[in-house]
Amino acid sequence: MKRITIDPITRLEGHGKIEIFLNDDGEVGNVYFQVPELRGFEKFCEGRPVEELPAITAKICGVCPGCHHMASGKAVDAVFGVEPPPTAKKLRELFYMAHFVHSHTAHFYALAAPDFVVGPYSPPSKRNILGVIEKVGKEIGTEVIKQRRIAQEIQALLGGHQTFVVMNIPGGVRKGLTEKERDDIVNKAKGFVGFAQFTLRLFEDVVLKNKEYVDIILNGPYNLKLHSMGLVDANNKVNFYDGKVRVVDTEGKELYRYSPPEYLDYVAEHVEPWSYLKFPYLKKIGWKGFIDGQNSGLYHATPLSRLNASDGMATPLAQIEYERMYATLGGKPVHATLAMHWARLVELLYASERCLELALDPDITGSELRAPLGPIPGEGVGIVEAQRGTLTHHYRTDEKGIVTKVNLIVGTTNNHGAISMSIKKAAEGLIKKGVEVTDGILNMIEMAFRAYDPCFSCATHCLPGQMPVILEVREASGELLQRLVRD
Amino acid sequence: MEFKPRIVAFLCNWCSYTGADLAGTSRIEYKANVRAIRLMCSGRIEPTLVLKAFTGGADGVLLCGCHPGDCHYQEGNYRCLRRYLLLQKYIKQVGIESERLKLEWISASEGKQFADLVNSFTETITGLGPCKIKETIAIFK
Amino acid sequence: MEGEKPKLKLAVYWAAACGGCCVSVLDVHEKLFDVTAAADLIFWPIALDTKYADVEKMPDKHIDLTLFNGAVRNSENEHMAKLLREKSKILVAYGSCAHMGGIPGLANFSTKEDLLNRVFGESESVINPDNTRPLPETEINEGILTIPRFYNDVRSLSQVVDVDYFIPGCPPQTERLVEVFTAIVSGAELPPKGSVIGAEIKAQCEECTRVKSENKKIRKFYRPWEISDDGITCFLEQGVICMGPATRAGCGHRCISGNAPCRGCYGPPPGAADPGAKMMSAIASIIDEKEPEEISRVIEDIPDPAGYFYRFSLPVSLIRRKVQ
């Protein structure tokens, strides 16, 4: 039995490692995706005043702190039994759209684009943002950095701290918007829409017009049939900030549609001793292990899942792209893992349009920022879509609003099972008896993982064109059989 | 070996230290576990000093100052009282028993009261046993 | 180009971290090209594919500058802290977690057992009939799978290895990083080893634009949602706890500009033996009551002193952790 270890996984947020076991035929036997880190927010938030949690839980992730801040803010509102006034909700969603723009832009250009723009079999030294820039021009690279910076400026304007935003307070937000600030955001949002459209055109030119890539997307070892989860509004259109959680099965039929307080009836978590991360699954189906297909209890929560679980996009330009995507890929739902990259760009356009829509809304400069508070009911659930999946915060407090219990199901956590399986499928498809395990194969396995945008989206720039990797293939006894070094 | 508590007492120069001194000159016997630290005013006592005492090995800490209204510097003792009450809340949160920290006003003429305070406090601390903070500090650098 | 100075070999590593410090490095935005002109990034798991084995192979002191962010909370964090100390000329504790333990340091209110029980046992969504817990070693059919050992205590970087400099903040404000980086690259004389850099000596209050008066006397503390913040007056004067007086300036008072009180991520100004004790002292001093019952009533409205005054710094407090 041979064992291939990739440690640590790189170009993502957080720590991870992959163990691939080959059986005596040289075919893949089993694959384990392990998460070696844990900090324990679900414990150390106990005893804290609940209004501090939007700031504390934002520190779960420095790349998507806005997501935690929003889910937390909504959970805190529920703990107080109030709904924020319309202006406050819109300000939150406006911030949130800018947050999505920054994250999706950076992920596509730095993580996804290299594999498609430069090519999955290209030399590793070219498979990064610098290689992308070489192919498409420095102008675009500078534009990516600029758009990301602008999105962050909007975050700072609305939320004070540009990374760990502080805007949420029980019942609303701390800061309003002046007319001048609003006009500035309108201009910036128009820029987002233009840039999102440009990015989709780039994707079309470089990926969709290339038969080889389309073949990899549709027929490569990246097909995983699982149920899809995403937040939808009253019309079943994708919404990142608010709505009900909808789950559709592998055929696209609605399985569940639940509101945040009901989440425990629908989602449960499984524990394995070899990972610090839990494995969420659909409770009513049950834990069936690492299988895919209609009978599996596993699901995924990704941009593709959101599009699969919805009936469309709520903004016009994004809706056109949504229809194009499904028409090209053969209808709904789509199970091609790499299509997540395309879905992410459709979302980028939606977030840009929605950002503009909200900035133009007359309520956005309103002065009613907070709802009055009364006695504290003491329990609340807040759910939003993080860039990488449905995010659930559940709090319980005493009558003074001091936290007694916290439960979290985080974006990428939803996908722990799915990612494990995607990696396994890629490995099974690519590593065969008699086939030398090359670094191209290594990269193709990483592509299975990368499509999920696992918790980190900001590998923009700062890549020196070299991705040193060591791959060791060992016998079970530990004896070294083959060693590949990629400097 | 029988546990011998180590107690640190912060005493203000004008009242409580003089009171403690009086206990001595009056030949009043009291338990010898206390180490006295003299400050000009109980208003100088701040949480850092108390926490350093505990992490430095004290099993109990006493804070003594002039009676309200009698502070040589007018209001220093009130400052001490406020810090003491907030400190009590803090040490409870970090697992140090609130009985280990005590504040009492001792005037310059209250030698006997000082002796009684030390005796009863020492007994309390003996009953509680060694302060576990020592074990924690031993683990950390 | 001839006669060019060799590029600085730069590494950025994260231990028990969130990625925010890595984002703060990326937030140099357009200055990126200046950074890559002056420095070669040679190890940065979030962005590069350099693996641990590559670092092990580096000669000692090969890396010119390592920005180590994240707290030390498991065996892998500790191993990497020690490894990077060997391989780095200058090791910087970058960000609140490496500097003081940070938000993960709040786990020092609990124990390993209680924390694991909550996450894997009691959590409302967990179904775990065998009461499984993650283990450093798990035997499976194919062999043994390993994950790092979870420690009982969270530590800051300097509690594990010798640290050359501290750059505080959650995360450090990028402009401060650029100032430090520019100074190092330009060969400027560095402050004494062990210094806090990239931050001011004075407190937040000096930078904060809110209006302050001489009169700070509190008769009641309010939770932030209990008041209608006027957006202008000092938070403390409105009765809301703000860590500004006990926190270094340097972040640009970014939370205050979002109308939220400071929570102290930049750490204490110089001379504080304990990061929260001075603040406790100051808060108590401004309470305007004399009777014990009245004072107690006021203090009753501070629900979580340890959490307010040691939000980012519990592991480096005098107490270190809650006594077990």
Output the six-digit token pair for C175. 């402009």
Task: Please determine, for residue A408, whether its predicted confidence score (pLDDT) is greater than 60.
Answer: yes
> Cα distance from B15 to chain C (closest Cα, Å)?
19
Task: Please give the average per-residue pLDDT across A406-423, as a whole number.
Answer: 92
> Cα distance from C260 to chain B (closest Cα, Å)?
24
Task: Please determine, for residue A271, whether its predicted confidence score (pLDDT) is greater than 80.
Answer: yes
- The lowest-confidence range among A361-375, B5-19, C24-38 is C24-38
Nearest Cα residue in chain C from A476: C143
- pLDDT band of residue A478 (cuts 50, 70, 90) is low
Neighbouring chains to A with at least 3 Cβ pairs closer than 8 Å: C
Q: Chain C within 8 Å of A162 (Cβ-Cβ)? A: yes
Terminal alpha carbon distance of chain A: 27
pLDDT of A37? 84
- The lowest-confidence range among A125-134, B81-90, C2-11 is A125-134
User: What amino acid is encoded at C78 in this protein?
Assistant: E
Hunting for tokens 């990015």 — which residue is that?
A199
Alpha-carbon gap, residue A7 to A478, rounded angstroms: 16
> Is C281 within 8 Å of B94 when comparing Cβ atoms?
no
Alpha-carbon gap, residue B53 to C246, rounded angstroms: 22
Task: Please give the average per-residue pLDDT across B41-61, as a whole number.
Answer: 96
* Beta pairing partners, C41: C10
pTM: 0.93
> Is B85 within 8 Å of C299 when comparing Cβ atoms?
yes
Alpha-carbon gap, residue C236 to C246, rounded angstroms: 12
b/e C257-266 (16+ beta carbons within 10 angstroms → b): bbbbbbbbbb
Task: Please give the average per-residue pLDDT across B8-28, as a whole number.
Answer: 96
> Cα distance from C127 to chain A (closest Cα, Å)?
6
- Across the interface, of C23, C123, C225, the residue whose CB is closest to A62 is C23
Nearest to C119 by CA among A278, A381, A306, A328: A278
Residues of A with Cβ-Cβ distance to C223 under 8 angstroms: 49, 51, 401
Q: Which residues contact A400 (CB under 8 A, 6 or more apart)?
A: A376, C303
> Is A273 within 8 Å of C134 when comparing Cβ atoms?
yes
Q: With pLDDT > 90 as the criterion, what percentage of chain A qualifies?
A: 62
Mutation pick from B46, B82, B100 vs chain C, by most beta carbons of C within 10 Å, is B82
* Beta pairing partners, C11: C43, C66
Kindly report the length of chain B.
141
Alpha-carbon separation of residue A210 from A213, C109, C269 (angstroms)? 6, 56, 59
Written as one string, the DSSP assignment of A67-131 is HHHHHHHHHHHHHTT----HHHHHHHHHHHHHHHHHHHHHHIIIIIHIIIII-TTS-GGGSSHHH
Q: Where are the beta strands (DSSP E) in chain C?
A: 8-14, 39-43, 63-69, 72-74, 88-94, 137-140, 143-146, 150-155, 165-167, 195-196
Pairing outcome for strands A227-232 and A299-300: parallel
Task: Please determine, for residue A295, whether its predicted confidence score (pLDDT) is greater than 50.
Answer: yes
> Is A278 within 8 Å of C120 when comparing Cβ atoms?
yes
> Cα distance from C14 to chain B (closest Cα, Å)?
22
pLDDT of A479? 62
Q: Are C269 and C316 in contact (CB under 8 A)?
A: no
**DSSP character at residue C108:** G
- Across the interface, of C54, C107, C148, the residue whose CB is closest to A468 is C54
**DSSP character at residue A283:** T
Task: Please determine, for residue A17, whether its predicted confidence score (pLDDT) is greater than 60.
Answer: yes
> Cα distance from C65 to chain A (closest Cα, Å)?
16
Task: Please give the average per-residue pLDDT across A180-205, as a whole number.
Answer: 96
pLDDT of A117? 80
Query: What is the four-CA torsion angle of C122, C124, C129, C130, rounded to 10 degrees?
Result: -40
- The lowest-confidence range among A13-22, A434-443, B1-10 is A434-443
Q: Chain C within 8 Å of B23 (Cβ-Cβ)? A: no
pLDDT of A464? 27
Cβ atoms within 10 Å, residue A209 = 10
pLDDT of A463? 26
Q: Chain C within 8 Å of B136 (Cβ-Cβ)? A: yes
- pLDDT band of residue A468 (cuts 50, 70, 90) is very low
Output the six-digit token pair for A134. 């070489």
Residues of B with Cβ-Cβ distance to C294 under 8 angstroms: none
pLDDT of A18? 86
Q: Which residues of chain C have pLDDT under 50?
A: 1-2
> Is A268 within 8 Å of C125 when comparing Cβ atoms?
yes
Burial class (CB in 10 A: 0-12, 13-18, 19+), C216: middle
Output the six-digit token pair for C126. 């967990």
Nearest Cα residue in chain C from A37: C16
Nearest to C23 by CA among C168, C169, C166, C174: C174
Phi, psi of A366 (to 5 degrees): -60, 165
Nearest to C264 by CA among C316, C320, C319, C186: C316
* Beta pairing partners, A3: A21, A474
Q: With pLDDT > 70 as the criterion, what percentage of chain A qualifies?
A: 91
pLDDT of B106? 96
**DSSP character at residue C315:** G
Task: Please determine, for residue B89, whether its predicted confidence score (pLDDT) is greater than 60.
Answer: yes
Name the strand (E) or helix (H) holding A55: helix A53-57
Q: Are B50 and B101 in contact (CB under 8 A)?
A: yes
Hunting for tokens 């503390």 — which residue is that?
C221
Residues of B with Cβ-Cβ distance to C273 under 8 angstroms: 48, 52
Rounded to the nearest integer, the mean pLDDT of chain A is 88
Alpha-carbon separation of residue C6 from C38, C157, C164 (angstroms)? 8, 29, 22
Task: Please give the average per-residue pLDDT across A122-133, as a whole number.
Answer: 69
SS3 annotation, C135-194: CCEEEECCEEEECCCEEEEEECHHHCCCCCEEECCCCCCHHHHHHHHHHHHCCCCCCCCC
pLDDT of A7? 79
Alpha-carbon gap, residue C312 to C299, rounded angstroms: 22
3-state SS, residue A301: coil
- Using one digit for the tens of pLDDT, what is the confidence trace for A150-191? 999 999 999 999 899 999 999 999 999 999 999 999 999 999
Q: From the CA atom positions of chain B, what is the Rg in Å? A: 15
Task: Please determine, for residue A145, whether its predicted confidence score (pLDDT) is greater than 70.
Answer: yes
Q: Are A251 and A333 in contact (CB under 8 A)?
A: yes
Q: Chain C within 8 Å of A62 (Cβ-Cβ)? A: yes
Task: Please give the average per-residue pLDDT across B75-97, as a whole number.
Answer: 96
Between residues C156 and A472, the one the model is more confident about: C156
Task: Please determine, for residue A487, whether its predicted confidence score (pLDDT) is greater than 80.
Answer: no
Task: Please determine, for residue A420, whether its predicted confidence score (pLDDT) is greater than 50.
Answer: yes
Cβ atoms within 10 Å, residue C233 = 14
Q: Chain C within 8 Å of A409 (Cβ-Cβ)? A: yes
> Is C304 within 8 Å of B47 when comparing Cβ atoms?
no
pLDDT of A11? 64
- Using one digit for the tens of pLDDT, what is the confidence trace for B57-72? 999 999 999 999 999 9
> Cα distance from B116 to chain C (closest Cα, Å)?
22
Q: From the CA atom positions of chain C, what is the Rg in Å? A: 22
- pLDDT band of residue A471 (cuts 50, 70, 90) is low
- Across the interface, of C102, C140, C225, the residue whose CB is closest to A171 is C225
Written as one string, the DSSP assignment of A353-368 is HHHHHHHH-GGGG-S-
The gap from C-alpha A438 to its chain's centroid, in whole angstroms, comes to 29
- The lowest-confidence range among A157-171, A250-264, A277-291, A451-465 is A451-465
Q: To 10 degrees, what angle do helices C277-285 and B76-93 make?
A: 130
pLDDT of A130? 67
Cβ atoms within 10 Å, residue C139 = 11
Kindly report the length of chain A.
487
Output the six-digit token pair for A166. 């502080």
